Amino acid sequence: MSEITLKIGNEKHLAKQLETNSRYDAKQKQKIASAAKQFEGLLTSMMLKSMNKTTDGMFGSSEDGYGNDMFDTMFEQEIATKMSETKGLGVAEKLYKKITGEEMPAEIRNKLSERINPVKIHNTTAPSDSTKVQPSNSASERLNNYEKHIDEASNTYGIDKNIIKSIIMTESAANNKAVSGAKAKGLMQLIDSTASDMGVRNVFNPRENILGGTKYFAQMLRQYSGDVKLALAAYNAGPQNVEKYKGVPPFDETKNYINKVLGYLDHFKESEQ
């Protein structure tokens, strides 16, 4: 029997691998990794929601007890957070390697894991392009009436209370009875379908409205891997438009909305100093 030899063209294989890697610079690779991680985060969120929906929630439906849906969301957030602290589902790494031909560097993976953790949003600062705004005295007085509900929502969903305040001021100027032309209602301007999805029974009840609005924003924040601008865009224009335009939609209303929220965020953070 003649000897069987395996011929390997080392030069060709190496050249092909180097050519694949060299197509992307460091900045492009960072963007690829971020997009891959966002996809994994969205997939994780969809899986957890699907599991909870199939089992009517880990704690039962909202009809079985008030607050059960809130505990389900907390459970989803904790699971998603723990998964992001490790290698998650491994989907992001596989996508990154498929596109770049490289393993995802540990420093990039660790940085992305920090971004996707919704609890870390407590330290969020407004980008420099925000518009400085200041609430009126009457609006500030109204907002002070809801401080305990804002603190509860902040602690429950891991969202900086100043962001909650900023959304409330932008949406309704802290007017609990506000109703928009699109029939959005209350402090955080929830439409009926969103209010129902968030377990809000009385949209004009300040506590329920703030908890429901914060819960929805926390979901958007998790869906967009901690990107505050994208989460705000989704809150204002809907996640379908963020997906359609692959970023902040080119709507003046949405752009002004984001800048106004971030401007209020600047104000509230400065007030604490």
> Can you say how many angstroms the Cα of residue 127 is from the centroid of all Cα atoms in its chain?
16
Task: Tell me how crowded residue 246 is: count the other CB atoms within 10 A of its CB.
Answer: 8
Q: Sign of dihedral through CA atoms 33, 38, 44, 50?
A: negative
Contact 155, 218 (CB under 8 A): no
The one catalytic residue in 40, 76, 93, 171 is 171
Alpha-carbon distance values, 3 to 6, 100 (Å): 10, 38
Region of residue 160 (phi > 0: left; psi between -120 and 50: alpha; otherwise: beta): beta
| Sign of the four-CA dihedral 232, 233, 237, 238 | negative
Residue 171: active-site member: yes
- Determine contact, residues 49/75, Cβ cutoff 8 Å: no
Residues with a known catalytic role = 171
